[in-house]
Structure 1
Amino acid sequence: MIETSRLNRGKQKKSKKKKRKVISLIFLLLLISAALYFYFQYKSALNVSMKATGVSQKQVEFNGVQTKGKMNVLLLGIDSRGEEKSRTDTIMIGQYDHDAKTAKLVSIMRDSYVDIPDHGKMKINSAYSIGGAELLRKTIKENFDVDVQYYALVDFNGFSQIIDTAFPEGLEVNVEKRMSKDIGMILEPGLQRLDGKQTLAYVRFRKDAQSDFGRIQRQQEILGKVTKELLTINGVVKAPQLLGTIQPFINTNIDSGEVLSLATSYLSNRDEGIKTLRIPIDGAYEPKRFQRAGAVLDLDLDENKAALQEFLGENQ
């Protein structure tokens, strides 16, 4: 009886080991399959998007300064059209606080009238036209005393393709008014699904009474919708396609390890959402017109600087 019991226990141990081995093999096969799926999805999307004209991948000068515990990124939406020198209509600072696990987004209006180092007072988007991302970084530091460590130049063509990849049936948007002037199409008011080109037109429209103020509001709205989708299971599945799609349309000095660290940290606290701010803030600017600069937003620099620093936690 004792011998039989030992034999049974021995058989049970061997059976458990065999099961664990089989489970391990299945898990390994699943990992390999997932890796192959992600790789081929990524390569397929990359091959398609590489056929389009993207942003130059040439490394640009950018002497960003690290902010302790925070990751500040200068996000620039550019319209390169294959040109060496391009313009930027969208200027944002994205921040992720690794300790607090909070994400923030600041939109700086392009007509903000500021001091550009060694060039005098101009619209802030002139800094990029004159001296690229580095001069714009210096301009932000000089006027608002905010350090930006990284940059990301994103071509508008890539934005359209990201929308089409993430939302194959269109992105649901409530268009508040009829939009047509200078966007190459007509968007009628009402709740509807927009494809990539229509969504790009929606976020670029500014030929109404709200001008750039409405445009920035729509940009932040769409970025919020896209971010929310990417943090779902469906969004994770589409991740390799999105990475392959955007790569030719983005130039950044953020390395892949930093991106992975940020994504892992943010996903663990994704219910927090993204907080937003617009510069200039309400009541801290005055519309003016100057001969050389045209129509500008003359900032109350002290108020806007204080608001930006408080929002980004620069004084903490």
Structure 2
Amino acid sequence: MYDGLKKLEVPTKSRHPGARRGVKYGLIGLLVLVVFVVSTGIFTYLKVQSNISKGHRNFSGLIAPPPKGPLNILVLGSDARSVVEAGQRNERQFRGGSGQRADTIILLHIYAGSKHAVLISFPRDLRVNIPGHGINKINAAYPLGGANLMIKTVSQLTGLDINHYVEVNFASFRDIVNAVHGVPLYFPKPLYDLKSGLNITQTGCVTLNGDQALSFVRARYIYANADLGRIQGQQRFIRALLNRVKSLGVLLYPPTLIKLSEVAGKGLIFDKGIDLGLARSIANSLKFDQKNVDFRQYPGTPRYVGGVSYVVPEPTAARALFNSLKTGGPLPDVGKTGQSLPSPSDVTLSLINASGRSGLAGTVRTKLATKGFHVPSISSSTKHITPTVITYQAGDELKAELVAKEFPGATVKLATSSQLTDIVVTLGRSYGASAASPTAKATAKPAVIGSCP
């Protein structure tokens, strides 16, 4: 058997007088390095655990998850202003009246095995039965009975056990974004919202700092459908944040991990079952991969009831959604948003034949239609190109990635002008080339949502 240490031994002292000393000092240096790495890891672990424990609270209504079973984590965005420094409370992103309300309500369902998850957003105006208080908007549960009543309300509404609870306030959200050095988002046009303080003056890629990010996720009036539009904006931001955390390798970088744990301990509130071990287990399984996290919205329709504006639940669709979570089955096509993982039936695309091969667009259209894609129009171009080009509009990155699987080797890029369909595919001379080519592998995947193209 090979013995590494014996291999390092020197036959005679006279021929190599400093060799044994070198080996000895080399081994000592190696041991010092190992001790340093291990001790740093232990220090980081203890420091992070200590920071996280500062945010631990007791809650009623939480049910311990079954071993190796799914997890349901209720995440609440609170608009509490008491945690904001007095000098900043009049800044627009922190305004909104007194008291403490549920500004954002999200249920994160992590499937058994933790390989993928779905994040479900609840409209603030969702019309529900709040236990002990009757019919009201779901966000009224928080001021009426705090986190415990919100846990009970969401569990009753969904039929799911809630295993963990996390509460994020304005200040901690801002600090989390700053701890990861900002979150990049692509803006096709400038955006301004007086109520939230959002003021994006440039187009293209903008790395939002904590204050800008808070203004963005709170903005409603930049969307035609207000709160429902804001949900999609928040989900887009979460996708971008996931991508940012993945790119930084946060779990492997102690300074950032410690900084995030300090923010968590100082500003977040969560149950005592949440610790570094659980967080790492989830993160390592999901790998912050965009395709491992789907997004949905509680199915409902905006409607006035008794002169009050609500989002009225669609019980049949909601039952199908939450029953699929109970059984671990595939998600039904309900409650989809712009950030849901798309299927072919969600994609509308146009084909332009620039290959010089007559009838190619019609052949490709038939192939795509059999897979469920919508292809309302085809055309030809006299300007021929070699590589196939796929263009997509901002926000349709995941659709572009799905389409790119049908066109190995294609160049995928953001559209520079408006398109009549989600995706435009311009067929080039190289269409039909081997899918195994290195070029195809290198170019077939577009930018993930929220990142800068």
TM-score interval, normalised by the smaller of the two chains: 0.7 to 0.9
* One-letter amino acid matched to 1:120: G
Q: Which deviates further from its counterpart, 210-219 or 262-271?
A: 262-271
Task: Tell me which residue corresponds to 2:418.
Answer: none
- Which residue does the alignment assign to 1:288? 303
AA partner of residue 113 (structure 1): R
Contact 2:164 2:274 in 1 (8 A): no
User: If each structure's helix is expressed as a fraction of its own residues, which one has the higher value?
Assistant: 1
1:261 to 258, 278, 282: 278
Question: Do residues 116 (structure 1) and 130 (structure 2) align?
Answer: yes
Alignment length (residue pairs) = 290
Structure-2 change in CA distance of 1:10 and 1:261 (3 Å): farther
TM-score by length of 2: 0.56
Shift of 1:297: 0.9
| 1:63 to 2:76 alignment | no
AA aligned to 1:164 is N
- In structure 2, how many angstroms separate the alpha carbons of the residues matched to 1:60 and 1:39? 22
* Alignment partner of 1:32 is 2:39: yes
1:265 to 1:196, Cα distance in 2 relative to 1, 3 A:
closer
Aligned partners of 2:108 and 2:120 also within 8 Å: yes
Match of 1:194?
208
Contact 1:42/1:241, CA 8 A, preserved across alignment = no
Aligned match of 2:263: 245
Residue matched to 2:404: none
Q: Contact 2:111–2:328 (CA<8 Å) still a contact in 1? A: no
Q: Which amino acid aligns with 2:34?
A: F
CA–CA separation in structure 2 for the residues paired with 1:266 and 1:127: 30
Residue 230 of structure 1 aligns with an amino acid whose one-letter code is V
Q: Aligned letter for 1:80?
A: A
| Contact in 2 for aligned 1:174/1:189 (Cα 8 Å) | no
Correspondence 1:303 to 2:317: yes
SS for the counterpart of 2:232 is helix
Shift of 1:253: 0.4
Preserved contact between residue 57 and residue 272 of structure 2 (Cα < 8 Å): no
Cα distance 1:176–1:121, how it changes in 2: closer, same or farther (>3 A)? farther
Q: Which runs of 5+ in 1 are unaligned?
A: 1-6, 47-55
Q: What is the distance in 2 between the residues matched to 1:74 and 1:228?
A: 22
In 1: Cα distance, 2:105 partner to 2:10 partner: 71
CA–CA distance in 2 between the matches of 1:65 and 1:155? 24
1-structure distance, mates of 2:101, 2:259? 28
Cross-structure match for 1:218: 233
Matched residue SS, 2:304 = strand
Deviations 1:137-168 (A, max 9, x none): 2222222211111111111211111111202x
Alignment of 1:38-117 (within 5 A): 59-68=57-66, 69-82=69-82, 86-117=100-131
- Equivalent in the alignment of 2:163: 149
% identity of equivalent residues: 23
Structure 1 partner of 2:192: 179
Could you tell me how far 1:100 is from its partner in structure 2? Answer: 4.7
**Cα-to-partner distance string for 1:111-145 (whole Å, 9 max, x where unaligned):** 11111112221111111121112212222222221
Q: Hey, what's the Cα distance between the residues in 1 that align with 2:25 and 2:201?
A: 64
Q: Which moved more, 1:26-35 or 1:128-137?
A: 26-35
Change (3 A) 1:245 1:57: closer
Structure 1 residues 194, 299: closer, same or farther in 2, change over 3 A? same
Alpha-carbon distance between aligned partners in 1 of 2:301 and 2:294, rounded to the nearest angstrom? 25
Q: How far 1:202 moved relative to its partner?
A: 0.7
> Residues 143 and 301 of structure 1 are in contact (CA less than 8 Å); yes or no, is this contact kept in structure 2?
no
SS of residue matched to 2:71: strand
Distance of aligned partners of 1:114 and 1:99 in 2 relative to their CA distance in 1, 3 Å threshold = same
CA distance in 2, matches of 1:263, 1:33: 17
SS at match of 1:255: coil
Distance 1:247 1:29 in 2: 26
Q: In the alignment, what sits opposite 1:136?
A: 150
Tell whether the 8 Å contact from 2:55 to 2:264 is kept in structure 1 after alignment: no
Q: Distance in 2 between matches of 1:176 and 1:136?
A: 37
Give, as a single letter, the amino acid of the residue that structure 1 aligns with 2:60. F
TM-score by length of 1: 0.78
Q: Which ranges of structure 2 fall in alignment gaps of 5 or more residues? A: 1-8, 14-18, 84-97, 330-453
Q: Secondary structure at the match of 1:179?
A: strand
